[in-house]
Amino acid sequence: MDRAHSAALQLHQLPPTSSADPLSELSFSYKENLIGALLAIFGHLVVSIALNLQKYCHIRLAGSKDPRAYFKTKTWWLGLFLMLLGELGVFASYAFAPLSLIVPLGAVSVIASAIIGIIFIKEKWKPKDFLRRYVLSFVGCGLAIVGTYLLVTFAPNSHEKMTGENITRHLVSWPFLLYMLVEIILFCLLLYFYKEKNANNIIVILLLVALLGSMTAVTVKAVAGMLVLSTQGSLQLDYPIFYVMFVCMVATAVYQAAFLSQAAQMYDSSLIASVGYILSTTIAITAGAVFYLDFIGEDALHICMFALGCLIAFLGVFLITRNRKKATPFEPYISMDAMPDEGAG
């Protein structure tokens, strides 16, 4: 009797079996990854539509006798609203999924732009050029979609609450401090060659953009995560690290835009899109892996499949952009005869 009683007590004192907890945590992490991925895909898709709407508005006005300024048309304002909505979606996605998953999903913008371009853009091509131009674009879209699928499927499942303590701990960790030292040295060297030696090579300029962009991505995830936690009742806005991250986010985004603008004055936008996407994604994933430890605990198969997804997406973006027709001044890229007759807006 005593043995039965003691056995019952031991059984009662045992903690709950941990077999259900890992499964529930894994399911929760996949759910958060899916929410973040869907928000990012939605955001990039809406931003692409918004940009093309605004370009549509500009060209409609240029091809008509409408004296209105572009900002007085409903189409342009619709584009601006959609752009803000898309950027908000991308911003929110960082709070749910690892940085290493969200950053490569920028390929969605390239895919959407290619599809919109094929539908609306007027390109002069000969039958013999069809294979070189359109088929390669379709192949590129297919590869980018396959790469995106692999990225979402094999993305890391590291989920950590973006509290002020956790972000501060990551910020002063030795791996990140060493990474920052290397990145600052590389950035200063590139800036020296660019400014003093007139090294205007596209790789130099876009490496500067990518280095700044990696810090933008790291800080965006911190700011978005702390804001989401604050809305859930765990206030994070009283931590100084929030404002440090916010200032860094704005500053790096502004300088990143400045370098991109300089690159756009010297190189074709298609080349900037493909090379910029590859460099920025690679460096941002590296920064996320160092700062947020995205790949800690991941098995080799998942890491290899994730890397394969990145490579396939890179190849898809390269094929989409490599054969785009270079922009020619005063040549409308949207077929005017396909437009409705009523005025813009």
How far is 32 from 196, CA to CA, in rounded Å?
Answer: 46
- What are the structure tokens assigned to 156, written together? 């890391």
Residue 343 has pLDDT above 50, yes or no: no
Residue 225 has pLDDT above 80, yes or no: yes
Residue 251 has pLDDT above 60, yes or no: yes
How far is 142 from 147, CA to CA, in rounded Å?
Answer: 9
Q: Which amino acid is at 254?
A: V
pLDDT of residue 41: 92
How far is 133 from 117, CA to CA, in rounded Å?
Answer: 12
Q: Where are the alpha helices (DSSP H) in 292-328?
A: 300-322
pLDDT of residue 133: 64
How far is 278 from 283, CA to CA, in rounded Å?
Answer: 9
pLDDT-derived band at 76 (thresholds 50, 70, 90) equals: confident
pLDDT-derived band at 332 (thresholds 50, 70, 90) equals: very low
pLDDT of residue 20: 41
| Of the candidate ranges 20-34, 65-79, 92-106, the one whose mean pLDDT is the lowest | 20-34
- What are the structure tokens assigned to 160, written together? 């950590």
For residue 31, the surrounding DSSP H or E stretch is helix 20-62
The alpha carbon of 76 is separated from its chain's Cα centroid by a whole number of angstroms, namely 24
- Pick the more confident residue, 73 or 296: 296
Residue 327 has pLDDT above 50, yes or no: no
What is the mean pLDDT of the segment spanning 150-162?
85
pLDDT digits (tens, 9 = 90+) for 167-217: 999 999 999 999 999 999 999 999 999 988 888 888 999 999 999 999 999
- Pick the more confident residue, 218 or 196: 218
| Of the candidate ranges 24-33, 103-112, 273-282, the one whose mean pLDDT is the lowest | 24-33
DSSP 8-state secondary structure symbol assigned to residue 267 = S
- Pick the more confident residue, 180 or 274: 180
What is the mean pLDDT of the segment spanning 319-333?
56
DSSP letters for 199-216:
---HHHHHHHHHHHHHHH
How far is 249 from 179, CA to CA, in rounded Å?
Answer: 18
pLDDT of residue 90: 92
How far is 138 from 320, CA to CA, in rounded Å?
Answer: 8
pLDDT-derived band at 147 (thresholds 50, 70, 90) equals: very high
pLDDT-derived band at 71 (thresholds 50, 70, 90) equals: low
* High-pLDDT (> 90) share of the chain, %: 40
Q: Which of 80, 60, 78 is nearest to 69 (CA)?
A: 60
Residue 43 has pLDDT above 60, yes or no: yes
3-state class percentages of the chain: helix first, strand second, coil last, to nearest 5: 75, 0, 25
pLDDT of residue 12: 42
pLDDT-derived band at 25 (thresholds 50, 70, 90) equals: very low
pLDDT of residue 67: 65
